[in-house]
Amino acid sequence: MKKIYIIAVMCTVVALSGSLAGCKKRYVSPLETPSMTKAAADKAYDFDFDQLNNDVIDELQDKEIYSFVKAVDVSGDNEKKEIVLTIDIDKDVSDDAVELLLTDATKAIVDGVQIQDFRIDGWNEEGFGNLFDLYGYTYKVTSGDEVVREETLNVGDSVPFDPTLTLEQVIG
């Protein structure tokens, strides 16, 4: 009986020491803020368009308001300095909904590219940062075989969407 009691006490001590060890900080950085670096200003941009495509799809799905979207594809070419957004939607989607979709998709592209290269400025109330000063942008929205909206913006062209547009503004 004494052996069982000793084994039980040992198990309790081991269990408590293991759970208390989980409360301790495992690593403390010697730096107060992380050290982040930017690529040299003259280094060529090298975006991962597969990752960007996934980021944009995730961002649009997280909003949970685009049930009318059938497919989204973001591709591009670093050598040609171009980004291409292709979206297929259901029929009879309002122009305002398409505008909001393109605005959110463009913001997601800027966010995704900014994560890949800190030299890219983020979007704000005034515009979409500096990405489209460096890359051209083609977007195409289709509904089946019908082209709903399509435009190609050359490097430096202004993006025709309002980055402050919200769902509340669209539905009134």
In a domain, 151, yes or no: yes
If one counts the domains in the chain, the total is 1
The predicted pLDDT at position 24 comes to 47
Tell me the CATH number at 59: 3.30.300
In a domain, 159, yes or no: yes
Q: Is the Cα dihedral 67, 140, 153, 109 positive or negative?
A: positive
In a domain, 88, yes or no: yes
In a domain, 107, yes or no: yes
| Three-state DSSP state, 75 | strand
Q: Contacts from 144-148 at CB under 8 Å and sequence distance 24+?
A: 144/88, 144/91, 148/89, 148/93, 148/98
Residue 137 CA to residue 90 CA, distance in Å, equals 23
Residue 81 CA to residue 154 CA, distance in Å, equals 10
Work out whether strand 136-143 and strand 82-89 pair parallel, antiparallel, or are unpaired: parallel
Provide block-wise average pLDDT over 10 residues at a time, the chain (172 residues).
Answer: 66 57 51 59 86 95 94 97 97 95 96 92 92 96 96 96 90 80
In one-letter notation, the amino acid at residue 165 is L
Prediction pTM value:
0.76
| Residue 95 CB coordination number (10 Å) | 10
Domain that holds residue 159: 49-171
